[in-house]
Chains A and B, each alone.
Chain A
Protein backbone atom coordinates (compact mmCIF):
# COMPACT_ATOMS: atom_id res chain seq x y z
CA UNK A 1 0.00 0.00 0.00
CA UNK A 2 1.22 3.50 -0.80
CA UNK A 3 0.97 6.43 1.56
CA UNK A 4 1.27 10.06 0.52
CA UNK A 5 4.20 12.10 1.71
CA UNK A 6 1.77 14.45 3.46
CA UNK A 7 0.24 11.56 5.42
CA UNK A 8 3.64 10.33 6.53
CA UNK A 9 4.84 13.83 7.38
CA UNK A 10 1.71 14.50 9.45
CA UNK A 11 2.21 11.34 11.47
CA UNK A 12 5.88 12.13 12.01
CA UNK A 13 4.92 15.55 13.34
CA UNK A 14 2.29 13.99 15.60
CA UNK A 15 4.90 11.57 16.93
CA UNK A 16 7.22 14.46 17.69
CA UNK A 17 4.41 16.22 19.57
CA UNK A 18 3.69 13.01 21.54
CA UNK A 19 7.39 12.73 22.45
CA UNK A 20 7.31 16.31 23.71
CA UNK A 21 4.31 15.52 25.90
CA UNK A 22 6.04 12.41 27.29
CA UNK A 23 9.09 14.46 28.29
CA UNK A 24 6.96 17.19 29.87
CA UNK A 25 4.84 14.71 31.82
CA UNK A 26 7.80 12.75 33.14
CA UNK A 27 9.77 15.85 34.11
CA UNK A 28 6.75 17.13 36.01
CA UNK A 29 6.11 13.73 37.65
CA UNK A 30 9.75 13.34 38.66
CA UNK A 31 9.64 9.59 38.05
CA UNK A 32 8.52 7.15 35.36
CA UNK A 33 9.78 5.40 32.24
CA UNK A 34 10.95 7.51 29.28
CA UNK A 35 13.06 4.93 27.39
CA UNK A 36 10.34 2.49 26.41
CA UNK A 37 7.73 5.23 25.96
CA UNK A 38 9.90 6.95 23.36
CA UNK A 39 10.85 3.71 21.59
CA UNK A 40 7.19 2.79 20.96
CA UNK A 41 5.95 6.31 20.14
CA UNK A 42 5.94 5.97 16.36
CA UNK A 43 4.15 2.60 16.51
CA UNK A 44 1.36 3.82 18.81
CA UNK A 45 0.99 7.25 17.21
CA UNK A 46 0.43 5.60 13.83
CA UNK A 47 -2.04 3.19 15.42
CA UNK A 48 -4.22 5.81 17.10
CA UNK A 49 -4.10 8.43 14.32
CA UNK A 50 -4.40 6.20 11.24
CA UNK A 51 -5.37 2.64 12.04
CA UNK A 52 -7.63 2.28 15.07
CA UNK A 53 -11.42 2.44 14.63
CA UNK A 54 -12.36 4.46 17.69
CA UNK A 55 -14.30 7.45 18.97
CA UNK A 56 -12.61 9.40 21.77
CA UNK A 57 -16.00 10.91 22.67
CA UNK A 58 -17.45 7.43 23.21
CA UNK A 59 -14.77 5.28 24.85
CA UNK A 60 -17.30 2.50 25.55
CA UNK A 61 -18.49 2.11 21.94
CA UNK A 62 -18.94 -1.69 21.66
CA UNK A 63 -17.60 -1.88 18.11
CA UNK A 64 -14.41 0.07 18.81
CA UNK A 65 -11.06 -1.51 18.08
CA UNK A 66 -9.26 -2.29 21.33
CA UNK A 67 -5.77 -1.27 22.28
CA UNK A 68 -4.10 -2.68 25.36
CA UNK A 69 -0.66 -1.68 26.63
CA UNK A 70 0.73 -4.82 28.17
CA UNK A 71 4.05 -3.11 28.96
CA UNK A 72 2.18 -0.85 31.34
CA UNK A 73 5.16 1.13 32.56
CA UNK A 74 5.15 2.97 29.22
CA UNK A 75 1.76 4.53 29.98
CA UNK A 76 3.06 8.11 29.55
CA UNK A 77 2.98 7.30 25.83
CA UNK A 78 -0.56 5.92 26.08
CA UNK A 79 -1.82 8.88 28.11
CA UNK A 80 -0.23 11.38 25.71
CA UNK A 81 -1.87 9.70 22.71
CA UNK A 82 -5.24 9.48 24.48
CA UNK A 83 -5.12 13.18 25.36
CA UNK A 84 -3.92 14.18 21.89
CA UNK A 85 -6.79 12.23 20.25
CA UNK A 86 -9.33 13.82 22.61
CA UNK A 87 -10.18 11.25 25.29
CA UNK A 88 -9.47 13.88 27.95
CA UNK A 89 -7.96 17.31 28.23
CA UNK A 90 -4.21 17.69 27.81
CA UNK A 91 -3.76 19.65 31.03
CA UNK A 92 -4.53 16.40 32.90
CA UNK A 93 -1.22 15.03 31.63
CA UNK A 94 0.74 17.05 34.16
CA UNK A 95 -1.00 15.20 37.00
CA UNK A 96 0.74 11.93 36.03
CA UNK A 97 1.69 9.84 39.09
CA UNK A 98 0.27 12.40 41.54
CA UNK A 99 -2.01 11.45 44.41
CA UNK A 100 -5.65 11.38 43.28
CA UNK A 101 -4.81 11.60 39.57
CA UNK A 102 -6.67 9.56 36.99
CA UNK A 103 -3.25 9.01 35.40
CA UNK A 104 -1.76 6.37 37.64
CA UNK A 105 1.87 5.24 37.48
CA UNK A 106 0.68 2.17 35.60
CA UNK A 107 -2.55 1.90 33.55
CA UNK A 108 -5.80 1.77 35.48
CA UNK A 109 -9.43 1.71 34.35
CA UNK A 110 -10.12 5.12 35.85
CA UNK A 111 -8.53 6.63 32.71
CA UNK A 112 -10.96 7.09 29.79
CA UNK A 113 -9.77 4.83 26.96
CA UNK A 114 -8.14 2.26 29.25
CA UNK A 115 -10.17 -0.98 29.25
CA UNK A 116 -8.02 -2.98 31.64
CA UNK A 117 -5.19 -2.31 34.06
CA UNK A 118 -1.68 -3.50 33.36
CA UNK A 119 1.71 -3.17 35.00
CA UNK A 120 2.43 -6.67 36.22
CA UNK A 121 4.15 -7.82 33.07
CA UNK A 122 3.17 -10.75 30.90
CA UNK A 123 -0.62 -10.66 31.27
CA UNK A 124 -1.64 -8.28 28.50
CA UNK A 125 -1.49 -10.72 25.62
CA UNK A 126 -3.95 -12.91 27.55
CA UNK A 127 -6.21 -9.90 28.15
CA UNK A 128 -6.11 -9.16 24.41
CA UNK A 129 -6.95 -12.80 23.69
CA UNK A 130 -10.03 -12.50 25.93
CA UNK A 131 -11.12 -9.44 23.95
CA UNK A 132 -10.57 -11.37 20.73
CA UNK A 133 -12.64 -14.31 21.93
CA UNK A 134 -15.43 -11.95 23.03
CA UNK A 135 -15.50 -10.44 19.53
CA UNK A 136 -15.84 -13.91 18.02
CA UNK A 137 -18.66 -14.90 20.41
CA UNK A 138 -20.53 -11.66 19.66
CA UNK A 139 -19.73 -11.82 15.93
CA UNK A 140 -18.30 -8.31 16.01
CA UNK A 141 -15.56 -7.26 13.64
CA UNK A 142 -13.43 -5.06 15.88
CA UNK A 143 -9.71 -5.72 16.07
CA UNK A 144 -7.44 -5.92 19.08
CA UNK A 145 -3.96 -4.41 19.23
CA UNK A 146 -1.61 -5.10 22.12
CA UNK A 147 1.83 -3.63 22.78
CA UNK A 148 4.41 -5.97 24.31
CA UNK A 149 7.83 -5.08 25.65
CA UNK A 150 10.85 -7.13 24.66
CA UNK A 151 11.93 -7.70 28.26
CA UNK A 152 8.32 -8.52 29.03
CA UNK A 153 8.21 -11.55 26.77
CA UNK A 154 10.60 -13.31 29.13
CA UNK A 155 7.47 -13.94 31.24
CA UNK A 156 6.06 -17.46 30.86
CA UNK A 157 2.48 -16.20 30.76
CA UNK A 158 3.23 -14.57 27.39
CA UNK A 159 4.00 -17.91 25.80
CA UNK A 160 0.94 -19.57 27.32
CA UNK A 161 -1.04 -16.78 25.67
CA UNK A 162 0.90 -17.03 22.40
CA UNK A 163 -0.03 -20.71 22.19
CA UNK A 164 -3.69 -20.01 22.95
CA UNK A 165 -4.04 -17.08 20.48
CA UNK A 166 -2.89 -19.34 17.72
CA UNK A 167 -4.91 -22.34 18.94
CA UNK A 168 -8.06 -20.22 18.84
CA UNK A 169 -7.06 -18.75 15.44
CA UNK A 170 -7.39 -15.18 16.69
CA UNK A 171 -6.89 -13.39 13.38
CA UNK A 172 -8.56 -10.33 14.90
CA UNK A 173 -5.53 -9.86 17.13
CA UNK A 174 -2.33 -7.98 16.36
CA UNK A 175 0.56 -7.89 18.82
CA UNK A 176 3.28 -5.29 18.50
CA UNK A 177 6.68 -6.09 19.97
CA UNK A 178 8.73 -3.03 20.88
CA UNK A 179 12.14 -4.62 20.36
CA UNK A 180 14.46 -1.92 21.66
CA UNK A 181 16.99 -4.42 23.00
CA UNK A 182 17.22 -3.19 26.57
CA UNK A 183 15.73 -4.13 29.91
CA UNK A 184 16.32 -2.61 33.36
CA UNK A 185 19.51 -4.50 34.12
CA UNK A 186 21.11 -4.05 30.70
CA UNK A 187 21.07 -5.40 27.16
CA UNK A 188 18.45 -8.09 26.58
CA UNK A 189 21.02 -10.33 24.89
CA UNK A 190 23.17 -10.21 28.04
CA UNK A 191 20.41 -10.55 30.64
CA UNK A 192 18.15 -13.16 28.96
CA UNK A 193 18.49 -13.56 25.24
CA UNK A 194 15.28 -13.71 23.19
CA UNK A 195 16.78 -14.76 19.88
CA UNK A 196 15.72 -16.16 17.53
CA UNK A 197 12.63 -14.14 18.33
CA UNK A 198 10.94 -14.20 14.92
CA UNK A 199 11.35 -17.96 14.72
CA UNK A 200 9.87 -18.36 18.18
CA UNK A 201 6.64 -16.55 17.23
CA UNK A 202 6.48 -18.43 13.94
CA UNK A 203 6.91 -21.71 15.79
CA UNK A 204 3.92 -20.72 17.96
CA UNK A 205 1.81 -20.33 14.81
CA UNK A 206 1.91 -16.57 14.34
CA UNK A 207 2.20 -14.48 11.20
CA UNK A 208 5.28 -12.31 11.75
CA UNK A 209 6.23 -8.99 10.17
CA UNK A 210 9.65 -7.51 10.94
CA UNK A 211 10.01 -3.76 10.53
CA UNK A 212 11.95 -0.67 11.48
CA UNK A 213 9.69 0.64 14.25
CA UNK A 214 10.56 4.26 13.50
CA UNK A 215 9.72 4.19 9.79
CA UNK A 216 6.12 5.39 9.38
CA UNK A 217 5.69 3.87 5.96
CA UNK A 218 6.80 0.45 7.19
CA UNK A 219 4.61 0.78 10.30
CA UNK A 220 1.49 1.60 8.27
CA UNK A 221 2.18 -1.18 5.77
CA UNK A 222 2.60 -3.67 8.60
CA UNK A 223 -0.72 -2.74 10.23
CA UNK A 224 -2.42 -3.00 6.83
CA UNK A 225 -0.88 -6.43 6.22
CA UNK A 226 -2.11 -7.79 9.58
CA UNK A 227 -5.70 -7.04 8.55
CA UNK A 228 -5.34 -9.37 5.56
CA UNK A 229 -4.08 -12.37 7.54
CA UNK A 230 -6.74 -15.03 8.14
CA UNK A 231 -6.75 -17.97 10.53
CA UNK A 232 -3.84 -16.87 12.70
CA UNK A 233 -2.77 -13.96 14.90
CA UNK A 234 -0.16 -11.47 13.70
CA UNK A 235 2.80 -9.91 15.43
CA UNK A 236 4.74 -6.89 14.27
CA UNK A 237 8.30 -7.26 15.50
CA UNK A 238 9.46 -3.68 15.49
CA UNK A 239 13.15 -2.92 15.84
CA UNK A 240 13.33 0.29 17.81
CA UNK A 241 15.76 2.48 19.69
CA UNK A 242 15.22 2.91 23.39
CA UNK A 243 14.83 6.62 24.16
CA UNK A 244 14.35 7.42 20.43
CA UNK A 245 14.26 11.12 19.55
CA UNK A 246 16.34 12.45 22.43
CA UNK A 247 20.04 12.04 21.65
CA UNK A 248 21.26 11.66 25.23
CA UNK A 249 18.57 9.11 26.07
CA UNK A 250 19.03 6.86 23.04
CA UNK A 251 20.28 3.41 24.03
CA UNK A 252 21.03 4.61 27.56
CA UNK A 253 19.68 1.99 29.92
CA UNK A 254 19.58 4.45 32.82
CA UNK A 255 16.59 6.13 31.15
CA UNK A 256 14.51 2.94 31.30
CA UNK A 257 13.08 4.04 34.61
CA UNK A 258 14.44 7.49 35.36
CA UNK A 259 12.61 10.72 34.57
CA UNK A 260 14.57 13.61 33.04
CA UNK A 261 15.56 16.45 35.34
CA UNK A 262 14.25 19.94 34.52
CA UNK A 263 17.50 20.76 32.67
CA UNK A 264 17.47 17.46 30.78
CA UNK A 265 13.83 18.02 29.85
CA UNK A 266 14.60 21.48 28.43
CA UNK A 267 17.45 20.04 26.40
CA UNK A 268 15.23 17.21 25.17
CA UNK A 269 12.40 19.56 24.19
CA UNK A 270 14.84 21.67 22.15
CA UNK A 271 15.83 18.56 20.20
CA UNK A 272 12.16 17.80 19.60
CA UNK A 273 11.25 21.24 18.20
Chain B
Protein backbone atom coordinates (compact mmCIF):
# COMPACT_ATOMS: atom_id res chain seq x y z
CA UNK B 1 0.00 0.00 0.00
CA UNK B 2 1.47 3.35 -1.07
CA UNK B 3 1.59 6.00 1.62
CA UNK B 4 -0.77 8.93 0.96
CA UNK B 5 -0.22 12.25 2.72
CA UNK B 6 -1.65 15.73 2.76
CA UNK B 7 1.16 18.11 1.81
CA UNK B 8 -0.60 20.69 3.99
CA UNK B 9 -0.27 18.49 7.07
CA UNK B 10 3.45 18.18 6.48
CA UNK B 11 3.69 21.94 5.99
CA UNK B 12 1.91 22.62 9.28
CA UNK B 13 4.14 20.19 11.18
CA UNK B 14 7.30 21.57 9.58
CA UNK B 15 6.31 25.07 10.64
CA UNK B 16 6.19 23.96 14.26
CA UNK B 17 9.63 22.41 13.88
CA UNK B 18 10.95 25.68 12.44
CA UNK B 19 9.18 27.75 15.06
CA UNK B 20 10.99 25.84 17.80
CA UNK B 21 14.37 26.30 16.12
CA UNK B 22 14.07 29.95 15.23
CA UNK B 23 12.26 32.65 17.19
CA UNK B 24 12.25 34.90 14.11
CA UNK B 25 9.83 32.67 12.21
CA UNK B 26 6.46 34.43 11.90
CA UNK B 27 3.39 32.97 10.19
CA UNK B 28 0.50 34.82 8.54
CA UNK B 29 -2.79 33.60 7.12
CA UNK B 30 -5.96 35.10 5.69
CA UNK B 31 -8.85 33.20 7.25
CA UNK B 32 -7.78 29.82 5.89
CA UNK B 33 -5.52 28.62 8.69
CA UNK B 34 -7.45 25.39 9.18
CA UNK B 35 -7.21 24.53 5.47
CA UNK B 36 -3.58 25.57 4.97
CA UNK B 37 -2.62 24.06 8.37
CA UNK B 38 -0.89 27.19 9.60
CA UNK B 39 -3.33 26.69 12.46
CA UNK B 40 -0.87 24.12 13.86
CA UNK B 41 1.71 26.89 14.29
CA UNK B 42 -0.92 29.32 15.60
CA UNK B 43 -1.75 26.93 18.43
CA UNK B 44 1.89 26.42 19.38
CA UNK B 45 3.14 30.00 18.93
CA UNK B 46 0.15 32.37 19.16
CA UNK B 47 2.38 35.41 19.67
CA UNK B 48 4.04 34.82 16.30
CA UNK B 49 0.92 34.07 14.26
CA UNK B 50 -1.31 36.72 12.72
CA UNK B 51 -4.62 36.20 10.99
CA UNK B 52 -5.63 38.99 8.62
CA UNK B 53 -9.14 37.91 7.84
CA UNK B 54 -10.20 37.95 4.21
CA UNK B 55 -7.62 40.57 3.16
CA UNK B 56 -4.74 39.04 1.22
CA UNK B 57 -3.26 42.28 -0.12
CA UNK B 58 -2.80 43.66 3.36
CA UNK B 59 -1.33 40.32 4.51
CA UNK B 60 1.35 40.32 1.78
CA UNK B 61 2.43 43.91 2.34
CA UNK B 62 2.41 43.42 6.12
CA UNK B 63 4.76 40.47 5.60
CA UNK B 64 7.15 42.96 3.97
CA UNK B 65 7.14 45.17 7.06
CA UNK B 66 7.86 42.19 9.31
CA UNK B 67 10.66 41.02 7.03
CA UNK B 68 12.22 44.50 7.04
CA UNK B 69 12.65 44.02 10.80
CA UNK B 70 14.51 40.71 10.42
CA UNK B 71 11.66 38.21 10.49
CA UNK B 72 11.41 35.17 8.24
CA UNK B 73 7.76 35.29 7.30
CA UNK B 74 5.66 32.37 6.07
CA UNK B 75 2.46 33.55 4.40
CA UNK B 76 -0.32 31.16 3.49
CA UNK B 77 -3.65 31.17 1.75
CA UNK B 78 -5.05 29.43 -1.34
CA UNK B 79 -2.88 29.69 -4.45
CA UNK B 80 -5.51 31.63 -6.36
CA UNK B 81 -5.56 34.46 -3.79
CA UNK B 82 -1.84 34.46 -2.95
CA UNK B 83 -0.77 34.92 -6.54
CA UNK B 84 -3.73 36.61 -8.21
CA UNK B 85 -5.45 38.80 -5.66
CA UNK B 86 -2.22 40.10 -4.16
CA UNK B 87 0.12 40.03 -7.19
CA UNK B 88 1.12 43.68 -7.00
CA UNK B 89 1.93 43.37 -3.30
CA UNK B 90 4.02 40.27 -4.02
CA UNK B 91 5.86 42.09 -6.81
CA UNK B 92 6.44 45.48 -5.24
CA UNK B 93 6.50 44.90 -1.49
CA UNK B 94 8.04 41.41 -1.40
CA UNK B 95 10.14 40.61 -4.49
CA UNK B 96 11.38 44.11 -5.34
CA UNK B 97 12.64 44.39 -1.75
CA UNK B 98 14.05 40.84 -2.00
CA UNK B 99 12.63 40.12 1.44
CA UNK B 100 12.78 36.86 3.35
CA UNK B 101 9.16 35.94 2.73
CA UNK B 102 7.95 32.45 1.94
CA UNK B 103 4.53 32.22 0.33
CA UNK B 104 3.24 28.70 0.84
CA UNK B 105 -0.01 28.37 -1.08
CA UNK B 106 -2.32 25.40 -0.89
CA UNK B 107 -5.27 24.29 -3.03
CA UNK B 108 -3.44 24.85 -6.32
CA UNK B 109 -4.59 23.40 -9.62
CA UNK B 110 -7.61 21.41 -10.77
CA UNK B 111 -7.37 18.98 -7.88
CA UNK B 112 -9.15 21.51 -5.67
CA UNK B 113 -12.13 19.69 -7.16
CA UNK B 114 -15.76 20.61 -6.41
CA UNK B 115 -15.10 24.29 -5.55
CA UNK B 116 -14.71 24.88 -9.27
CA UNK B 117 -13.00 27.37 -11.54
CA UNK B 118 -12.96 30.41 -9.25
CA UNK B 119 -10.79 28.49 -6.78
CA UNK B 120 -8.62 26.46 -9.14
CA UNK B 121 -5.35 28.31 -9.65
CA UNK B 122 -4.09 27.33 -13.09
CA UNK B 123 -2.02 30.47 -13.69
CA UNK B 124 -0.13 30.82 -10.41
CA UNK B 125 3.22 29.43 -11.57
CA UNK B 126 3.18 31.81 -14.55
CA UNK B 127 2.34 34.76 -12.32
CA UNK B 128 5.17 34.03 -9.90
CA UNK B 129 7.73 33.00 -12.53
CA UNK B 130 7.87 36.40 -14.19
CA UNK B 131 8.86 38.31 -11.05
CA UNK B 132 12.61 38.84 -10.49
CA UNK B 133 14.08 37.37 -7.25
CA UNK B 134 11.24 34.86 -6.77
CA UNK B 135 12.16 31.19 -6.17
CA UNK B 136 9.51 28.56 -6.91
CA UNK B 137 9.21 25.02 -5.52
CA UNK B 138 6.47 22.53 -6.30
CA UNK B 139 7.01 19.48 -4.10
CA UNK B 140 5.75 16.21 -5.55
CA UNK B 141 4.63 14.57 -2.30
CA UNK B 142 4.43 14.79 1.48
CA UNK B 143 8.07 14.21 2.40
CA UNK B 144 9.27 16.58 -0.31
CA UNK B 145 7.02 19.27 1.15
CA UNK B 146 9.13 19.23 4.29
CA UNK B 147 12.30 19.48 2.18
CA UNK B 148 10.88 22.43 0.27
CA UNK B 149 9.78 24.32 3.38
CA UNK B 150 13.12 23.71 5.09
CA UNK B 151 15.06 24.83 2.01
CA UNK B 152 12.97 28.00 1.77
CA UNK B 153 13.45 28.74 5.47
CA UNK B 154 17.20 28.41 5.18
CA UNK B 155 17.67 30.26 1.89
CA UNK B 156 17.47 34.06 1.77
CA UNK B 157 14.90 35.76 -0.44
CA UNK B 158 11.30 35.28 -1.52
CA UNK B 159 9.84 31.83 -2.27
CA UNK B 160 6.60 30.52 -3.70
CA UNK B 161 5.76 26.95 -2.68
CA UNK B 162 2.77 25.33 -4.37
CA UNK B 163 0.78 22.66 -2.53
CA UNK B 164 -2.22 20.53 -3.43
CA UNK B 165 -5.49 20.04 -1.59
CA UNK B 166 -5.91 16.21 -1.78
CA UNK B 167 -3.66 13.55 -0.34
CA UNK B 168 -0.81 12.65 -2.66
CA UNK B 169 1.06 9.33 -2.92
CA UNK B 170 4.62 9.30 -1.60
CA UNK B 171 7.23 8.70 -4.31
CA UNK B 172 9.91 6.25 -3.18
CA UNK B 173 13.64 6.47 -3.92
CA UNK B 174 13.76 10.05 -5.12
CA UNK B 175 17.22 10.65 -3.69
CA UNK B 176 18.21 13.73 -1.72
CA UNK B 177 16.45 17.03 -2.20
CA UNK B 178 18.63 19.87 -3.39
CA UNK B 179 17.16 23.27 -4.22
CA UNK B 180 17.42 23.92 -7.95
CA UNK B 181 18.51 20.37 -8.77
CA UNK B 182 16.07 18.17 -10.66
CA UNK B 183 15.60 14.51 -9.69
CA UNK B 184 15.93 11.87 -12.37
CA UNK B 185 13.54 9.17 -11.15
CA UNK B 186 13.94 6.68 -14.01
CA UNK B 187 16.59 6.38 -16.69
CA UNK B 188 15.64 6.00 -20.33
CA UNK B 189 16.81 6.80 -23.82
CA UNK B 190 13.63 7.01 -25.88
CA UNK B 191 11.61 9.86 -24.47
CA UNK B 192 11.86 12.16 -21.45
CA UNK B 193 8.90 12.97 -19.23
CA UNK B 194 9.25 16.10 -17.14
CA UNK B 195 6.70 16.62 -14.37
CA UNK B 196 6.10 18.55 -11.19
CA UNK B 197 3.77 18.33 -8.21
CA UNK B 198 1.03 15.75 -8.26
CA UNK B 199 1.77 14.98 -11.93
CA UNK B 200 4.91 13.13 -10.87
CA UNK B 201 2.96 10.15 -9.55
CA UNK B 202 0.84 10.06 -12.75
CA UNK B 203 4.03 10.14 -14.80
CA UNK B 204 5.54 7.36 -12.73
CA UNK B 205 2.52 5.16 -13.44
CA UNK B 206 2.91 5.94 -17.15
CA UNK B 207 6.58 4.96 -17.06
CA UNK B 208 5.70 1.57 -15.56
CA UNK B 209 3.08 0.87 -18.24
CA UNK B 210 5.44 2.00 -20.99
CA UNK B 211 8.12 -0.36 -19.75
CA UNK B 212 5.71 -3.26 -20.25
CA UNK B 213 5.38 -2.08 -23.84
CA UNK B 214 9.16 -2.03 -24.23
CA UNK B 215 9.56 1.76 -24.02
CA UNK B 216 12.09 3.03 -21.52
CA UNK B 217 11.18 6.59 -20.59
CA UNK B 218 13.31 8.95 -18.55
CA UNK B 219 11.33 10.66 -15.80
CA UNK B 220 12.50 13.93 -14.33
CA UNK B 221 10.88 15.51 -11.29
CA UNK B 222 11.47 19.24 -11.52
CA UNK B 223 10.54 20.34 -8.02
CA UNK B 224 12.31 23.69 -8.34
CA UNK B 225 10.82 25.72 -11.17
CA UNK B 226 13.04 28.69 -10.30
CA UNK B 227 15.99 28.48 -10.47
CA UNK B 228 15.42 25.74 -13.05
CA UNK B 229 17.95 22.95 -13.49
CA UNK B 230 18.68 23.70 -17.14
CA UNK B 231 21.59 21.25 -17.23
CA UNK B 232 19.40 18.25 -16.54
CA UNK B 233 16.80 19.45 -19.05
CA UNK B 234 19.40 19.98 -21.76
CA UNK B 235 21.01 16.61 -21.09
CA UNK B 236 17.60 15.05 -21.69
CA UNK B 237 17.13 17.11 -24.85
CA UNK B 238 20.44 15.84 -26.19
CA UNK B 239 20.02 12.22 -25.15
CA UNK B 240 16.35 11.49 -25.90
CA UNK B 241 14.07 11.99 -28.91
CA UNK B 242 11.48 14.20 -27.36
CA UNK B 243 10.14 15.66 -24.11
CA UNK B 244 6.66 15.42 -22.64
CA UNK B 245 6.01 18.05 -19.96
CA UNK B 246 3.15 17.44 -17.52
CA UNK B 247 1.75 20.05 -15.16
CA UNK B 248 -1.50 20.79 -13.42
CA UNK B 249 -1.39 24.36 -14.78
CA UNK B 250 -1.93 26.29 -17.99
CA UNK B 251 0.50 25.22 -20.70
CA UNK B 252 1.44 28.90 -20.93
CA UNK B 253 3.88 30.40 -18.44
CA UNK B 254 4.52 27.43 -16.17
CA UNK B 255 6.84 24.42 -16.27
CA UNK B 256 6.12 23.75 -19.97
CA UNK B 257 7.14 27.26 -20.91
CA UNK B 258 10.24 27.08 -18.75
CA UNK B 259 11.34 23.85 -20.45
CA UNK B 260 10.43 25.23 -23.90
CA UNK B 261 12.54 28.32 -23.34
CA UNK B 262 15.65 26.34 -22.47
CA UNK B 263 15.23 23.73 -25.19
CA UNK B 264 14.38 26.24 -27.93
CA UNK B 265 17.36 28.42 -27.12
CA UNK B 266 19.92 25.65 -26.79
CA UNK B 267 18.94 22.35 -28.37
CA UNK B 268 15.59 22.41 -30.17
CA UNK B 269 13.76 19.08 -30.11
CA UNK B 270 10.12 18.05 -29.98
CA UNK B 271 8.34 19.15 -26.76
CA UNK B 272 4.77 18.08 -26.05
CA UNK B 273 2.92 20.05 -23.37
CA UNK B 274 0.32 18.29 -21.23
CA UNK B 275 -1.52 20.88 -19.21
CA UNK B 276 -4.62 23.02 -19.33
CA UNK B 277 -5.13 24.72 -22.67
CA UNK B 278 -6.94 28.05 -22.70
CA UNK B 279 -9.83 26.90 -20.49
CA UNK B 280 -10.98 27.52 -16.96
CA UNK B 281 -11.47 24.62 -14.60
CA UNK B 282 -14.86 23.44 -13.32
CA UNK B 283 -16.49 21.54 -10.47
CA UNK B 284 -15.92 17.82 -10.20
CA UNK B 285 -14.02 15.15 -8.33
CA UNK B 286 -10.25 15.54 -8.84
CA UNK B 287 -9.90 12.20 -10.66
CA UNK B 288 -12.70 13.06 -13.09
CA UNK B 289 -11.25 16.50 -13.72
CA UNK B 290 -7.81 15.09 -14.45
CA UNK B 291 -9.44 12.83 -17.05
CA UNK B 292 -11.44 15.66 -18.61
CA UNK B 293 -8.33 17.84 -18.93
CA UNK B 294 -6.10 15.01 -20.24
CA UNK B 295 -3.80 14.85 -17.25
CA UNK B 296 -3.83 11.14 -16.42
CA UNK B 297 -1.11 8.53 -16.76
CA UNK B 298 -2.93 7.24 -19.84
CA UNK B 299 -2.63 10.66 -21.47
CA UNK B 300 1.08 10.78 -20.69
CA UNK B 301 1.55 7.27 -22.10
CA UNK B 302 -0.23 8.27 -25.30
CA UNK B 303 1.95 11.37 -25.73
CA UNK B 304 5.13 9.35 -25.23
CA UNK B 305 4.07 6.65 -27.70
CA UNK B 306 3.27 9.32 -30.30
CA UNK B 307 6.85 10.56 -30.11
CA UNK B 308 8.40 7.10 -30.18
CA UNK B 309 6.38 5.80 -33.14
| Chain A residues proximal to chain B, CB less than 8 Å | 62, 68, 108-109, 115-120, 122-124, 126-135, 137-138, 156-157, 160-161, 163-164, 167-168
Residues of A within 8 A of B47 (CB): 137
Among B61, B71, B97, B99, chain A packs the most CB atoms within 10 A around the CB of B61
Residue in contact with B66 in the complex, picked from A118, A131, A156, CB distance below 8 Å: A131
Closest to B23 in A: A137
Select which of B50, B70, B88, B93 is within 8 A of A133 by beta carbon.
Answer: B50
B-chain residues with CB within 8 Å of residue A68 when the two chains form the complex: 65
CB neighbours (8 Å) of A117 from chain B are: 92-93, 96-97
Contact, CB under 8 Å: B57 / A131: no
A160 to B48, CA, bound (A): 20
Query: What 0/1 pattern do residues 42 to 54 of B give for CB contact below 8 A with A?
Result: 0000011010110
Sample (16) of A-B pairs whose CB atoms are under 8 Å apart: A117-B93, A120-B92, A120-B93, A123-B61, A127-B64, A127-B68, A130-B65, A131-B66, A133-B62, A133-B66, A134-B65, A157-B58, A157-B89, A160-B52, A167-B53, A168-B50
B97 to chain A, nearest CB (A): 5
B189: min CB distance to chain A, Å: 49
B308 contacts the other chain (Cβ, under 8 Å)? no
Q: Does B148 contact A (CB under 8 A)?
A: no
- Which of A62, A109, A127 sits near B62, CB closer than 8 Å? A127
B68 cross-chain contacts in A, Cβ below 8 A: 115-116, 127, 130-131, 134
**A164 to B47 CA separation, bound complex (whole angstroms):** 16
Interface residues of B, dominant DSSP: helix
**CB–CB B67/A130 < 8 A:** yes
Residue on A nearest B88 in the bound complex, by CB: A120
Residues of A within 8 A of B50 (CB): 133, 168
B61 near A164: Cβ-Cβ < 8 Å: no
B2 proximal to A (CB < 8 A): no
A146 to chain B, nearest CB (A): 9
Besides A123-B61, A126-B93, A130-B65, 9 more A-B contacts (Cβ < 8 Å) are A123-B57, A123-B92, A127-B93, A132-B65, A134-B65, A138-B69, A157-B61, A160-B57, A164-B62
B58 touches A161 (CB 8 A): yes
Bound-state CA distance A41–B99 (Å) is 30
> Given A116-B97, A127-B64, A168-B50: A134 and B71 within 8 A (CB)?
yes
With contacts A117-B92, A134-B70, A157-B58 known, is A164 near B52, CB below 8 A? yes
Contact A116 B64 (CB under 8 A): yes
The answer to whether B138 has its CB under 8 Å from any CB of chain A is: no
Bound form: Cα–Cα A160–B86 in Å = 12
* Chain A residues whose C-beta falls within 8 Å of the C-beta of B134 in the assembled complex: none
Of all chain A residues, the one with the shortest Cβ separation from B93 is: A123
Q: Look across to chain B and name the residue whose beta carbon is closest to the beta carbon of A138.
A: B69
> With A160-B55, A164-B52 in contact, is A130–B97 under 8 Å at CB?
no
B63 within 8 Å of A by Cβ?
yes
* Distance between B82 CB and nearest chain A CB, rounded to angstroms: 15
Instruction: Write the chain B residue with the least CB distance to A134.
Output: B69
| Residues in A neighbouring B65, C-beta threshold 8 A | 68, 116, 126-134
What's the Cα separation between A116 and B69 when bound, in Å? Answer: 10
Across-interface contacts of B60 in A (CB, < 8 A): 126
Cβ–Cβ < 8 Å partners of B71 in chain A? 134, 137
Q: Within the complex, what minimum Cβ distance (angstroms) separates A193 from chain B? A: 23
Roughly how many angstroms separate A16 CA and B205 CA in the complex, as a whole number?
74
Q: Which residues of A contact B58 (CB under 8 A)?
A: 126, 129, 157, 160-161, 163-164
Q: Is B26 an interface residue (CB 8 A)?
A: yes
* Cβ-defined contact, A157 with B57, below 8 A: yes
Give complex CA distance A132, B66 in Å: 8
- When C-beta atoms are compared, the residue in chain A nearest to B92 turns out to be A120
Q: A152 → chain B, closest Cβ, in Å? A: 13
CB < 8 Å neighbour of B69 from A119, A131, A167, A168: A131
Q: Which chain B residues in 1-60 approach chain A with CB under 8 Å?
A: 26, 47-48, 50, 52-53, 55, 57-60
A109, A123, A131, A168, most chain B CB atoms within 10 A? A123
Q: Is A127's CB under 8 angstroms from B55's CB?
A: no
Question: Which one of A108, A119, A138, A163 lies within 8 Å of B55 (CB-CB)?
Answer: A163
Asked if A130 and B96 sit within 8 Å, CB to CB, the answer is no
Name B99's closest neighbour in chain A (CB-CB).
Answer: A116
A62–B61 alpha-carbon span in the complex (Å): 20
